[in-house]
Amino acid sequence: MEFVERDPLAASLGSLKLQRPFYEQTTVAVARQLIGKYLVCHHPEGTTTGRIVETEAYVGPDDRACHASRGRTQRTEVMFGPAGHAYVYFIYGFHYMLNIVTEPAGRPAAVLIRAVQPVAGIPLMLRRRRSDRVRNLANGPGKLCEAFKINRAFNGIDMCGDLLYVEDRGEPAPKILARPRIGVDYAGRWRHKPWRFLLRGSEFVSRM
DNA sequence: CAAGAGATCATCT
DNA sequence: GATGATCTCTTGA
C-alpha cells in the first residue's frame, strides 16, 4: 500500500491521496485505475470535487497521438519530468486540457482526464460553466477545466501536493470500458488503440 | 437529434 | 502559415 498516503484527516474520512508511486506505473495502468477516483481542487473561490469517469492514456514518444512524439519542446517539457505532476495545455484557442504525468522521469507520457461526475462545489461549477445542468458541467476535457478553473497556472504543479490531487475513497473496483481515443484520427495505427477508459453506465462521460 | 461551422491562439513548420 | 487530445450554436430533417 505504497500508493496512498496515510494522512490522519484523510484516513478518518475514508479517503487516501494518491502518491507518486501510483503515477509511476505504466500509463495505461494509471489511466485505468484513475476511473472511480476523486479529483479535488482547492481554490480561493471554493473547493470542487468530481469522480473521474473518463480518461485517456498517451503512452510516450512512439505514440503518434502523444504530444511527446513530436519531441521535447517547451510545451511538452513537463511530461519528461517526474510522475504525478499536472500537464496543462491550451488548445483550439479556447480550451485547457488537464493531464497527469506518468512513468518515471525521462519517459514522457501522461493521462488525460476527460470527464468527471460533479460531487462537491456544484453551485460554483454551475456558475463558472454558465450552465444549469449538472450533466453538462464536466463531461469533456475542456468543460472539466472550466468547471474546476484549471488553466496554464496549473501546468507543472505537483499533484501529490495540497492544491490539486486525486483521492482513493476506498470504493470497490468499478466496471470499466475500453474504447479508442477521441480526436486522434491523424495518429496512424495508434488511433485504434483502446486507451480511452470509461466508467460503465455513467451518464457523465463525454460521449458513449 | 445529427451534422457542420465558427470561434481563436499557442505551438511548431 | 497551418493545425489541433474542443465546445457551442445553428440548421434542417
Which pLDDT does position A15 carry in this prediction?
Answer: 79
Which pLDDT does position A8 carry in this prediction?
Answer: 52
Nucleotides of B under 7 A from a protein CB: 7-13
Which pLDDT does position A208 carry in this prediction?
Answer: 87
Strand B proximity list, CB < 7 Å: A 70-71, 73-76, 89-94
Distant-in-sequence contacts of A3-6, Cβ < 8 A, 24+ apart: A3/A168, A4/A168, A5/A160
Nucleotides of C under 7 A from a protein CB: 4-8
Strand C proximity list, CB < 7 Å: A 56, 58, 65-68, 87, 91-95, 97, 99, 110, 112, 129, 131, 136, 140-144, 181-184, 186, 206
Which pLDDT does position A59 carry in this prediction?
Answer: 97
Residues 6 or more apart in contact with residue A18 via CB below 8 angstroms: A3, A4, A37, A84, A159, A160, A165, A166, A167, A168
Distant-in-sequence contacts of A125-129, Cβ < 8 A, 24+ apart: A125/A48
Per residue in A29-44, pLDDT (tens digit) is: 999 999 999 999 999 9
pLDDT tens across the length of chain A (208 residues): 456 655 555 555 667 999 999 999 999 999 999 999 999 999 999 999 999 999 999 999 999 999 999 999 999 999 999 999 999 999 999 999 999 999 999 999 999 999 999 999 999 999 999 999 999 999 999 999 999 999 999 999 999 999 999 999 999 999 999 999 999 999 999 999 999 999 999 999 999 8
Q: Which residue is nearest to nucleotide B9 (CA to C1')?
A: A93
Q: Which nucleotide is nearest to A91 (CA to C1')?
A: C4
Q: Which nucleotide is nearest to A138 (CA to C1')?
A: C7
* Protein CA A28 to sugar C1' C11 (Å): 40
In the block, residue with C-alpha cell 450552465: A131
CA atoms within 13 A on the CB side of A158: 7
